[in-house]
Amino acid sequence: MVIFLFSNVAVSGIAILGRAGITRRDRLILAISLGVGIGVACQPNVFDPAPSSPAAFYGVNLGHNIGFWPKKAACTEWYTTTSTASVPSSCLLTNSTGGTITSSLDEAACAYMSGAFTAAVSTSVTTSNKGKLDAYGNAEECNAFGNCCKKYDGGGSGFRSAILLILKTPYCIGTLLALLLNLILPTEKDDEEDIKGIELKHKTDGVSSTAAPVDISSS
């Protein structure tokens, strides 16, 4: 039933176009808008952030980093990665010739050998995951748990979702594209001649349909 209703709408539209007449400009607008609308209907995931599925382990990461309009564009606060750099302890000893030797002796042994002991130092460095790349140059902004963005911009995220919804709806993107093309495409001389021919045809059809029938019985 649903298929019949949509088919009925399509046939009605074709009938209206047939009665109204189509110029070369109208054919171009109709071809582009109808082609894009049918293309989106046949391939609805063309504007998805990324080809992902619940079974894909890295589906969230892909949807965040790649695609037509990645979700990371609306991210305002990123997760951070903390790394620790450690410098081991060392003992600086002086030999009989006056030279120095660096050893890994502990503090007590180093003091017994009259050496200079340096304690181990650990430094923690916290960096943002924004723009982070792996060894192969691929985006690695998401951590191992699939957490990619700590905080999204509410307005930016909503605007992005609305635009993607419009682009993924065949009727919506086709209509908007037709309106845009109708605004920017100029009317050429051939189109004006086509319009005059269509108007003349409509006048002729109107006269022939309203003319009184001829009585041929008296002739």
pLDDT for the residue 180:
92
Bigger pLDDT: 138 vs 172: 172
pLDDT for the residue 52:
46
pLDDT interval class at 96 (50, 70, 90): confident
Which residue ranges make up each domain of the chain?
16-48+168-196, 80-128
Task: Please answer whether residues 86 and 118 qualify as being in contact, where contact means their C-beta atoms are separated by less than 8 angstroms.
Answer: no
* Arithmetic mean of pLDDT over the chain: 74
Q: What does the pLDDT look like over 57-76, one tens digit per residue?
A: 456 666 677 777 777 778 88
Q: What does the pLDDT look like over 107-134, one tens digit per residue?
A: 888 888 888 888 888 887 777 777 666 5
Residue 130 zone, left/alpha/beta (φ > 0; ψ -120 to 50; rest):
beta
Q: What does the pLDDT look like over 165-217, one tens digit per residue?
A: 888 888 888 889 999 998 988 877 666 666 666 666 656 665 454 444 444 44
Q: Shortest CA distance to 25 belongs to which of 184, 174, 188, 179? A: 188
* Mean pLDDT, rounded, for 45-62: 58
Percentage of the residues of the chain whose pLDDT score is greater than 90: 3
Q: Is the pLDDT of residue 218 over 50?
A: no
pLDDT for the residue 6:
77
Whole-prediction pTM: 0.51
* Mean pLDDT, rounded, for 13-38: 82
Beta bridge partners of 151: 77
* The token pair that represents 25 in the structure block: 């400009």
* Mean pLDDT, rounded, for 137-153: 67
* Mean pLDDT, rounded, for 132-144: 59
DSSP structure class, residue 135: T
Bigger pLDDT: 85 vs 199: 85
pLDDT interval class at 49 (50, 70, 90): low
Q: Among all chains, which residue has been given the structure tokens 């176009």?
A: 17
pLDDT for the residue 25:
82
The rounded Cα 14 to chain-centroid distance in angstroms is 33
Q: Is the pLDDT of residue 98 over 60?
A: yes
Q: Shortest CA distance to 73 belongs to which of 168, 152, 162, 166? A: 152
Integer Cα distance of 10 and 198 in angstroms: 23
Integer Cα distance of 63 and 49 in angstroms: 5
